[in-house]
Amino acid sequence: MAAAGAGVAPSSLLRRGLPSSLAPSNPPSSSAMPHRRAPPPLLSLTATPSRARFAAAAAPDNGSASSYGNQTSLMPPFSSLMLGESSRSKKLYKWQRVLLKVSGEALAGDHTENIDPKVTMAIAREVASVTKLGVEVAIVVGGGNIFCGASWAGCSGLDRSSADYIGMMATVMNAIFLQATMESIGIPTRVQTAFRISEVAEPYIRRRAIRHLEKGRVVIFAAGTGNPFFTTDTAAALRCAEINAEVVLKATNVDGVYDADPKREPNARILETVSYNEVISRDLSVMDMTAVTLCQENNIPVVVFNLQNTGNIAKAIVGEKVGTYIGCTRNQDQSAESALDQERSLVK
């Protein structure tokens, strides 16, 4: 046995399970060892700059200054990374994410048809002009141009809940029409409904809606809140709070909020700024009280403006002065404007 193992390397004996005592005391020299094929060379991690960074980061640091210097030379400075991210996320406009509320009556235009294609095309073009600037836009549409649940409740035995559900489906019709108009001019658009109509639209999922907005898509919310007895104004305030939008832009057929009914009072004047409490106490017909209260509790400003004036949508979205501003006081608004000016100067 000893003679058999005299010419075998110790490592071979160990692999065979033989005790090391049987191995020869003087192992053969390297010249006597059988030649083995060298392992293939490892791929170089420094082929590209990105791989070089990983190689420098993975290399052991022995505390030498040269190793630390090589690592810092390959990796970009942390301050420059942070500066690049902040410069891309800087807000060049008053609002970065907005919710546009379009009433069904405004979509009817001159009321010759339920939906006026000229109105939808005007909305699409103005929304397109601001989405190219990086502003994220979500839209809530009403359905009063097709069916108003509150007006039909009680007719022919139709209860309020059923009438409101019919009105919700009317908002879906408007949303699909508006989506088709926007996509015809190259705006990627998604429709999300409060109840499932999987064949024609996505169900409302908050995180998915936010992701669509982050990718530059326009999201249209239809079917209100999905519950009867709640208006689409309340749905606009709710969706605005859910997706973390900064303002509700209410596009209507009037220039703003008046101190009296302009149809009855010819001397009624438009209000440039009004508070939530004033809207509630004076019963100004802007939005229903549920929507106003929801905006007040979540500190969401509301801008009411005329949809029929060309350029008003784009002006309202980028934060220019248009219509009536509801929410903050004038001093708070001025402080916000000064902060915005400071941000613009930093970016420049």
Predicted confidence at residue 113, as pLDDT, reads: 86
DSSP string, 219-284: EEEESTTSSTT--HHHHHHHHHHHTT-S-EEEEESSSSEESS-TTT-TT--EESEE-HHHHHHTT-
Task: Tell me the residue type at 73.
Answer: S
Long-range contacts of 158-166 (CB under 8 A, 24+ apart): 160/228, 160/229, 161/228, 161/229, 163/228, 164/224, 164/228, 164/229, 164/230, 165/228
pTM, entire model: 0.69
| Residue 116: pLDDT over 70 | yes
Kindly state the greatest CA–CA separation across the chain.
122
Among candidates 51, 48, 4, 43, which has minimal Cα distance to 23?
4
| Cα(333)–Cα(348) distance, integer angstroms | 23
Which range has highest mean pLDDT (130-134, 143-147, 182-186, 277-281)? 182-186
DSSP-based three-state secondary structure for 302: strand
Average pLDDT, integer, range 265-283: 88
| Residue 43: pLDDT over 70 | no
How many Cβ atoms from other residues are within 10 Å of residue 76's Cβ?
A: 12
Predicted confidence at residue 337, as pLDDT, reads: 58
| Cα(225)–Cα(228) distance, integer angstroms | 8
Cβ neighbourhood burial of 264 (10 Å; 0-12, 13-18, 19+): exposed
Spell out the residues 6+ positions from residue 216 whose beta carbon is closer than 8 angstroms to its own: 131, 134, 136, 188
Average pLDDT, integer, range 187-200: 95
pLDDT, tens only, 204-261: 999 999 999 999 999 999 999 999 999 999 999 999 999 999 999 999 888 999 888 7
